[in-house]
Amino acid sequence: MQPAEGRGRLSHKMLVWFLLISLVPMVVVGWHLVEISLTIMKGVSLRNQQNHAKSFAETVNGTIDGFKNVLEETAKLGEFASMDSGQQREYISKVMQVNPAFLELSVIDMDGAEKCRIDRFLQKDNAMRDFYNSPPFQVASQRHEYIGSLERFQGVHPALTIAVPIITDVAERSTPTVKGVLLGKVSMAGFSKMLENEFPEREGRQAALSTPDGFLVAHSSLDKVYRTDPRLSKDISNFLAHRSTDTGGGEVALADGVNALGAYATVRGLDWLVYVQQPLEAAYRAATAMRTQVARIMLWVICITVVLSLAVSAHITLPIRELQGAAEQLKAGRFDDLPEMTLPSDEIGDLGQEFLQMSDTLREKNEELVHAKEELEKFRGTLQRRVDARTRELQAAQDEIIRKERLAAMGQMASVVGHEIRNPLAVINNSIFYIKTKLTRANTLDEKISKHIALVEGAIQSASSIINEILTYSRTRELKPQPVQINHFVAETVANIPLPPGIQLVRRFDERNPTVNIDVEEMKQALRNLVVNAAEVMPQGGHIFVSTILTDASMARIEVQDTGPGIQPDILDSIFMPFFTSKASGTGLGLAVVRKVMERHEGKVEVYSEVGRGSMFRLSIPLESAEKDKPK
């Protein structure tokens, strides 16, 4: 029998209907209450911000008047009008101490020349300036006060210029006269501190004091005041540009898409503007609280509705949820961790029984698959290792066959070439000997002829040596190892090697003097090649160190080290290749012979070189005891 459509959704339907009946009327009423509260709070917040802006504008006006009054009182002192620079410096110094807002005070005579100045940052007078054509001097010298010239003092501090006339004492003269001008630059940073304290950023509020063109005098965020070109944002400037009264406000559409509530007030006498702004969310805080209360009531209604709905449908949905949990466990592959299920005696119970039978079948199939996968992984790993091993063996065998074929071909070629060249060399050598003998008997062998005969004999000997070296490398004779003490072998070998003047041979032998099993003739050739090479790379002289070392229980080592120029790193890997040489002469077989000899002795040759400091070759040779222990 097919299940009826919608079975299992009864609890959802009941929950939806309870929520609709209880929440729709409450949402409508709550919405109207919130809208009314928003309208009321907007008007209240706007009036509050306008009052704040107006109050701060009065504060700015009073503060600027206070600075002006300080300068006027100072300029009216009897001694100050005497234009005595020392006395005036003492007075303005006291003013600077009492009023930290003053950044600079200057006294200017009637010719516009600066007589004295105190700078809060420099604390000393620089070159005096000429103020004759400056607006502050022109206004103050006509017995008027001057307030204006907003600037960045030293490029950092926002400062306002205030100038007052220095007038003689009325008691002394019937007609007071202007003796000069007292000019001060006052820091506006204090206004930023006041704005920062009164309008903290953590509440999303901000306030600014600016000129009509948007230049920032002060701001509740100090980093905006100390920018290179501190100005109000474009959206706020546009809002203020459309003002029609000295005090006002309204909603402001900011550039980031957020709406704010802004208010402004004009500073009397300066035409500056105080702007105060806060987010609409803060202005509508009471309405937000009401919305929260409405949401809280709705939440309670929802909770009660959900509890009632769940209580009615629990006995229907509980078996289904248990079956769903078991299905999720099964989906995750946890066949042995299925939860306990309480199955009723109805269609849901029948479905649960079918599910349990299906899970048992799946568990068995999964175990079979896991076992098969493990066996396959083991077989794949074993096969891969065997393939890699066989590949390496085949590659090594192929390289060895190629090398032997090359050596065989080289040996055949060397035998033919050596035979064909040795016969003419023998004829030349016999003829030279005959000519030398005849000339000697006839007493006609002069010095020049003797020199040229010696050159020919040397060339014949060099050619024979090259042929012997090629034949030695290309031919492979049977190895004839015999046990020898390594110190005695090395000492005897190097003693028979002729070294040019300036080369000093230093022997450093291991006192344990191990015994090695070597073919003496081949090993002598290898050691002789290393020593001769070391001497050839030091034509100006140097040291050759020949050492023997017992490295461990199975190996001994012969080291040949020179103090020559070293080997360039780019050719270090090629020096053991046949016919490779970096010298102007030679066959390039010396080091190739060394490597061949060490391979035939189942040893190895290593090279360590540092350009400018020399090279060291290491011959590692198995000990006699190690040779005996090797399996046959």
How far apart, in whole angstroms, are the C-alpha atoms of residue 576 and residue 609?
14
pTM for the model stands at 0.43
Q: What is the pLDDT of residue 491?
A: 92
Q: What is the pLDDT of residue 544?
A: 93
pLDDT at 364 exceeding the cut of 60: yes
Give per-residue burial for 450-477: e unless 16+ CB within 10 Å, then b: eeebeeeeeebeeebebbebbebbbeee
DSSP summary character for residue 550? E
Question: What is the percent of the chain where pLDDT is above 70?
Answer: 72
- Residue 4 confidence class, pLDDT cut points 50, 70, 90: very low
Q: How many CB atoms lie within 10 A of CB 621?
A: 24
Q: What is the mean pLDDT of residues 244-266?
A: 81
Q: How confident is the model at residue 189 (pLDDT cuts 50, 70, 90)?
A: confident
Local structure of residue 572 (DSSP, 8 states): G
- pLDDT tens profile 194-226: 888 888 776 667 888 888 888 888 888 877 877
| Dihedral (CA of 469, 475, 476, 477) sign | negative
Q: What is the largest CA-CA distance in the chain?
A: 147
Model confidence pLDDT, tens digit, residues 568-583: 888 877 777 766 566 6
Question: Which letter, b or e, does each residue of 539-555 get, where b requires 16 or more Cβ atoms within 10 Å of its Cβ?
Answer: eeebebbbbbbeeeeeb
Which backbone phi and psi does 490 adopt, to 5 degrees?
-65, -40
**Tell me: the pLDDT tens digits for 427-462?**
787 777 777 787 777 776 677 777 777 777 767 766
CA neighbor of 320 nearest in space, from 348, 301, 283, 344? 348
Spatial neighbors of 477 by CB under 8 A, at least 6 apart, are: none
Q: Which residues contact 8 (CB under 8 A, 6 or more apart)?
A: 316, 317, 320
435 backbone dihedrals φ, ψ, rounded to 5°: -60, -40
Residue partners of 446: CB distance under 8 A and separation at least 6: none
**What's the CA gap between 557 and 550, in Å, rounded?**
6
Residue 44 has pLDDT above 80, yes or no: no
CB proximity list for 479: less than 8 A, separation 6 or greater: 519, 522, 600, 601
Per-residue confidence (pLDDT) for residue 628, from 0 to 100? 54
Residues 6 or more apart from 197 whose CB is under 8 A from it? none
Residues in Cβ contact with 343 at an 8 Å cutoff, skipping those fewer than 6 apart: 319, 349, 352, 353
Yes or no: say if 492 and 464 are a contact pair by the CB < 8 Å rule: no
The dihedrals phi and psi of 187, each to the nearest 5 degrees, come to -70, 135
Range list of H helices, 247-331? 280-283, 285-331
Of 539, 542, 548, nearest in space to 562 by CA: 542
Q: What local confidence, expressed as pLDDT, does residue 7 receive?
A: 46
Percent of the chain with pLDDT over 90: 10
Are 247 and 262 within 8 A, CB to CB? no
**185 near 163, Cβ under 8 Å?**
no
The reported pLDDT for the residue numbered 51 is: 86
Domains of the chain plus CATH, in order, are 76-187 (3.30.450.20), 191-282 (3.30.450.20), 366-476 (1.10.287), 478-629 (3.30.565.10)
Q: Say how far apart CA 176 and CA 335 lie, in whole Å.
A: 109
Q: How confident is the model at residue 413 (pLDDT cuts 50, 70, 90)?
A: low
Q: What is the pLDDT of residue 286?
A: 60
45: Cα within 13 Å, side-chain hemisphere: 24
- In angstroms, the CA 101 to CA 501 distance is 90
8 pLDDT above the threshold of 50 = no
| pLDDT value of position 335 | 61
Q: What are the residues facing 207 on neighbouring strands?
A: 276
- State pLDDT tens for residues 56-114: 888 888 888 898 898 888 888 877 888 788 888 888 888 888 888 888 899 999 898 98
Q: 627 falls in which pLDDT band (50, 70, 90)?
A: low
DSSP string, 193-213: HHHHHHS-GGGT-EEEEE-TT
Question: Phi first, then psi: what are they for 272, rounded to 5°?
Answer: -80, 165
Residue 124 has pLDDT above 60, yes or no: no
Q: 131-145, 301-315, 446-460, 595-609: lowest mean pLDDT where? A: 301-315
Q: What is the pLDDT of residue 103?
A: 87
Residue written as token pair 């030398």: 436
